């Protein structure tokens, strides 16, 4: 078969495609043709005489797997269908279907999704008569998932004193028992969850070294892994089982970019790609450094930012697209102004550069930041779609609070009552709600009136009356107080905030941030007038606020035609590209996130995330930040992100005054270019006092009181991770950001004796 397809590749790409045997690492910079190299390499294996069935290609998305097979088929035809190509989970499930009986599972085992797992955990917690507030289902599920991904069985979990100590601190000492029951009941039901598809395959290979391992080592003569920087400990352990053995040719090809490793919160570890050469000394490395996507200004900015990370595989991305626009930097007084200026600039780009809506993206660090941009895009009649989450006002936690606010203004709102009468949980079951509804229909009265008139058993009758009294109290406050005072009181008194705080998973934190963002929007409604700036206008009631957002919460169909502006978090944008990209909220404590600021590894991951954001842009890149924004109902003043100072002035189109150059390690926070108002505290770096003696990391345990030079006295809530990767969660006596996560390897903490 002629090798015409090789003509589509540059020299380095050709070398990566045609070097077939032994361990190969392809470091693929953004926009460098990674997918083409991976698919052409598989096609070249087939044209070189390797049977398609002997090729295993692992991806992280089904979309990537489909695209891979489609591209291979264009070169080799129907043979592409016989290649083992798919996600880790889909391929491993396929193997487990064949071999499941060896580990005590039926071949037709069920795969539990997240909701299935939660339902089972909920039932176990109930059966064990445990406090469901302490044993939050999402947190328990996340803990079990983490244990599996680190190959920790229920028995090992129970013997791990550090894990048990953390659980005791969080008042969930029986979590190991829940884990044990969960595993047992899954097996009894013939079911595996998503983590099991990895965990059980490793178990299969570990317990059947002769029959199974040898079988699949012979089956898969060549392994290829896409996005290798996103693999976790367990995935890499399985790969090594298949390719590292005596006499092996180690035909493993990994494709990835350490500079785009951004999923540590999901368990991915950058060490897999950074230390790959240690595991495979005969490794041959190819670096794809030509960027075909972006203009020179964008590529150079990305290079300048990522060079601040010390732990990386060195490369220099370049492009021959020398024409283009400098990066625009926008400084706003507030997040409200930031939203307006972004919308203004989008209109300008559409008119001046003829950029279509679907080639424009607004990228932010967390989904809670979408609110202000959604509001201005609506005001400007610009179609948009929120990815990686629901539209802000359609998120459950936001709708829950708005339902309470609606009831404070209009208690006859039946839909709002139904939404929150048993949330947070009060013990009002569905059967009681049905009786109330039926009684209202029979007596021709409202649901609200039926709450106190419907005959119910004593407990639900008491709950119904208490709920009605609660709403009446909210209504009385709504008459007397402004919208923010009422909303803040309702958020607390309804139990919504406590319910979200009890969930310490990433999902729970995100929901709490969304609720806080809604309250911030209400505070902004109180304090600001759009036309005049800071000004108290006449009507700041809750009713007025609800009327102002009525159209915003009523989603239309403007995004159904595909011509929309994209709003998403940077994590969700990985792998995508747009002509015009806005990276917003570039401030300390936001991007980089406050949770990352105390460890070098945390800052490095945030910088990689910024690198990913920059490299999504083809032609136009805009960086924005605000001097102040609402957080937790207060105006917060953040310094501009340190990442802005890592880009040379020659690459920027900006009238914002530059600050002093940032030091390479950025250990000290950079002072902002704005004047901090009187009364707002700033953190200064101070010399250690003579009596300050840092403790060794292994001496720090959960429950201890410690002292940090910058944040003062705090209590160690928990310690996660292992060995040099241990991270302590510490609660300090700070107003804005009391809870911090600090890597013990780098922390300087003094143990404080009570």
Q: What is the largest CA-CA distance in the chain?
A: 84
Average pLDDT over residues 142-154: 91
Mean pLDDT of 408-415: 81
Average pLDDT, whole number, for the chain?
85
**82 within 8 A of 90, measured Cβ to Cβ:** no
Query: What pLDDT shows up at residue 555?
Result: 32
Q: Could you identify the residue written with the tokens 């080592």? A: 217
pLDDT of residue 531: 38
Position 673 scores a pLDDT of 28
Least confident of 183-187, 504-508, 557-561: 557-561
User: Quick check: bond before 424 cis, omega within 30?
Assistant: yes
- pLDDT above 70 covers what percent of the chain? 89
Phi, psi of 369 (to 5 degrees): -80, -5
pLDDT exceeds 90 at position 154: yes
Question: Averaged over 237-250, what is the pLDDT?
Answer: 91
Q: Taking the model in full, what pTM does it have?
A: 0.72
Tell whether the model's pLDDT for residue 456 goes beyond 50.
Answer: yes
Q: How many of the other CB atoms lie within 10 Å of CB of 469?
A: 11
pLDDT confidence of residue 217:
93
* Terminal Cα distance for the chain, rounded: 78
H-state helical runs in 48-174: 62-76, 88-99, 114-127, 137-149, 154-159, 161-169
> For residues 341 and 332, is the Cβ–Cβ distance under 8 A?
yes
- Whether the per-residue pLDDT at 283 is higher than 80: the answer is yes
Spatial distance between the Cα atoms of 513 and 503, rounded to a whole number of angstroms? 12
pLDDT value at position 211?
Answer: 84
Nearest one of 113, 50, 59 to 80, comparing CA atoms: 50
Q: What is the pLDDT of residue 73?
A: 86
Looking at residue 538, its pLDDT comes to: 61
H-helix segments, 645-754: none
- Where does the pLDDT of residue 253 fall: very low under 50, low under 70, confident under 90, or very high at 90 and above? very high
Known catalytic residues are 34-35, 226-227, 260, 616
User: pLDDT band at 387, cuts 50/70/90?
Assistant: confident
For residue 641, pLDDT over 90 is answered with yes
Mean pLDDT of the 177-188 span:
89
The confidence score (pLDDT) of residue 568 equals 93
Phi and psi dihedrals of 584, rounded to 5?
A: -110, 165
The answer, yes or no, to whether residue 558 has pLDDT greater than 50, is: no
Q: Are 167 and 130 in contact (CB under 8 A)?
A: no
pLDDT of residue 11: 94
Is the pLDDT reported for residue 476 higher than 80? yes
Confidence of residue 686 (pLDDT cuts 50, 70, 90): very low
Instruction: Output phi, psi for 271, to 5 deg.
Output: -60, -25
**Is pLDDT of 167 > 50?**
yes
Number of H helices, E strands in the chain: 28, 23
Reply yes or no on whether the pLDDT at 311 is more than 70: yes
CA distances for 125 relative to 135, 151, 163, 466, 667, angstroms: 7, 23, 19, 27, 44
Alpha-carbon distance 220 to 76, whole Å? Answer: 19
- Average pLDDT rounded to a whole number, residues 185-189: 79
For Cα atoms 285, 288, 293, give the angle at the middle one, nearest 5 degrees.
165
Look at residue 7 and tell me whether its pLDDT is greater than 90. Answer: no
Q: Tell whether the model's pLDDT for residue 53 goes beyond 70.
A: yes
Q: How far is CA 510 from CA 367, 443, 496, in A?
A: 8, 43, 14
Q: How confident is the model at residue 202, as a pLDDT?
A: 95
pLDDT tens readout for residues 355-368: 999 999 999 998 88
Mind giving me the DSSP string for 330-386? EEEEEHHHHHHHHHHHHHHHHHHS---GGGEEEEESSGGGHHHHHHHHHHTT--EEE
Q: Is the pLDDT of residue 205 over 50?
A: yes
Average pLDDT for 12-22? 95
Average the pLDDT over 34-61 and give the result.
92
Rounded CA separation 513/595 (Å): 13
The residue that leads in pLDDT, 509 or 569, is 569
Q: What percent of the chain has pLDDT over 90?
A: 49
């Amino acid at each position: 078969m002629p090798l015409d397809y090789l003509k589509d590749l540059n020299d380095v790409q050709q070398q990566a495609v045609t070097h077939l045997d032994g361990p190969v690492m392809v470091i693929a910079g953004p926009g460098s043709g990674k997918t083409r190299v991976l698919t052409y390499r598989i096609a070249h294996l087939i044209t070189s005489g390797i049977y398609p069935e002997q090729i295993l290609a692992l991806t992280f998305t089904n979309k990537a797997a489909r695209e891979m097979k489609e591209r291979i088929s264009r070169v080799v035809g129907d043979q592409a269908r016989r290649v083992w190509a798919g996600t880790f989970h889909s391929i491993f499930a396929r193997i487990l279907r064949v071999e499941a009986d060896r580990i005590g599972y039926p071949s037709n085992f069920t795969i539990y999704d997240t909701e299935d797992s939660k339902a089972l955990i909920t039932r176990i917690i109930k059966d064990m008569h445990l406090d469901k507030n302490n044993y939050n289902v999402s947190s328990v599920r996340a803990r079990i998932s983490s244990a599996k991904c680190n190959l920790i069985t229920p028995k090992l979990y129970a013997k791990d004193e550090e894990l048990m100590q953390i659980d005791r601190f969080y008042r969930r000492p029986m979590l190991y028992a829940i884990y044990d029951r969960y595993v047992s009941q899954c097996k009894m039901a013939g079911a595996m969850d998503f983590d099991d598809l990895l965990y059980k395959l490793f178990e299969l290979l570990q317990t059947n070294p002769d029959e199974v391992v040898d079988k699949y080592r012979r089956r898969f003569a060549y392994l290829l892994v896409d996005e290798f920087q996103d693999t976790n400990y367990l995935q890499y352990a399985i790969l090594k089982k298949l390719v590292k053995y005596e006499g092996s040719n180690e035909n493993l090809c990994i494709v990835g970019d350490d500079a785009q490793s951004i999923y540590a919160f999901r368990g991915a570890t950058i060490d897999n790609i950074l230390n790959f050469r240690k595991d495979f000394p005969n490794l041959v490395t190819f670096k794809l450094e030509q960027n075909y996507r972006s203009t020179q200004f964008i590529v150079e900015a990305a290079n300048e930012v990522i060079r601040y990370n010390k732990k990386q595989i060195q490369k220099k991305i370049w492009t021959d697209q020398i024409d283009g626009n400098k990066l625009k930097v926008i400084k706003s007084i507030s997040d409200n102004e930031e939203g307006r200026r972004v919308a203004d600039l989008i209109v300008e780009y559409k008119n001046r550069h003829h950029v279509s809506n679907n080639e424009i993206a607004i990228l932010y660090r967390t989904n809670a930041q979408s609110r202000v941009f959604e509001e201005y895009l609506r005001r400007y009649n610009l179609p948009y779609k929120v990815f990686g989450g629901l539209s802000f006002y359609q998120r459950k936690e936001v709708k829950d609070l708005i339902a309470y606010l609606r009831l404070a203004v209009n208690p006859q709102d039946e839909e709002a009552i139904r939404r929150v009468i048993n949330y947070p949980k009060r013990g009002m079951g569905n059967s009681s709600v049905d009786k109330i509804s039926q009684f209202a229909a029979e007596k021709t009265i409202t649901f609200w009136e039926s709450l106190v008139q419907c005959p119910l058993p004593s407990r639900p009758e008491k709950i119904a009356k208490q709920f009605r009294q609660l709403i009446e109290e909210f209504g009385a406050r709504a008459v007397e107080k402004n919208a923010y005072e009422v909303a803040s009181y309702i958020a607390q008194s309804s139990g919504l905030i406590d319910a979200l705080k009890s969930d310490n998973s990433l999902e729970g934190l995100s929901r709490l941030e969304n609720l806080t963002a809604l309250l911030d929007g209400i505070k902004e409604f109180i304090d600001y007038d759009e036309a005049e700036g800071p000004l108290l206008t006449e009507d700041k009631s809750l009713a007025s606020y609800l009327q102002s957002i009525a159209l915003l919460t009523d989603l239309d169909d403007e995004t159904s035609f595909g011509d929309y502006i994209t709003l998403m978090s940077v994590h969700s944008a990985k792998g995508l590209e747009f002509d015009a990209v806005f990276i917003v909220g570039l401030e300390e404590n936001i991007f980089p996130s406050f949770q990352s600021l105390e460890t070098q590894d945390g800052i490095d991951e945030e910088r990689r995330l910024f690198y990913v954001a920059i490299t999504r842009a083809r032609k136009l890149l805009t960086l924005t930040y605000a001097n102040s924004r609402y957080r937790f109902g207060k105006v917060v003043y953040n310094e501009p992100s340190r990442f802005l100072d890592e880009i040379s002035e020659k690459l920027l189109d900006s009238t914002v005054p530059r600050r002093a150059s940032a030091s390479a390690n950025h250990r000290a926070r950079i002072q902002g270019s704005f004047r901090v108002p009187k009364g707002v505290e700033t953190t200064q770096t101070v010399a250690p006092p003579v009596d300050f003696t840092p403790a060794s990391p292994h001496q720090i345990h959960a429950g201890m009181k410690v002292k940090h030079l910058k944040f003062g006295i705090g209590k160690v809530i928990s310690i996660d991770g292992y060995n040099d990767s241990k991270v302590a969660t510490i609660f300090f006596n700070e107003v804005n950001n009391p809870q911090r996560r600090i890597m013990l390897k780098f922390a300087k903490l003094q143990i404080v004796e009570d």
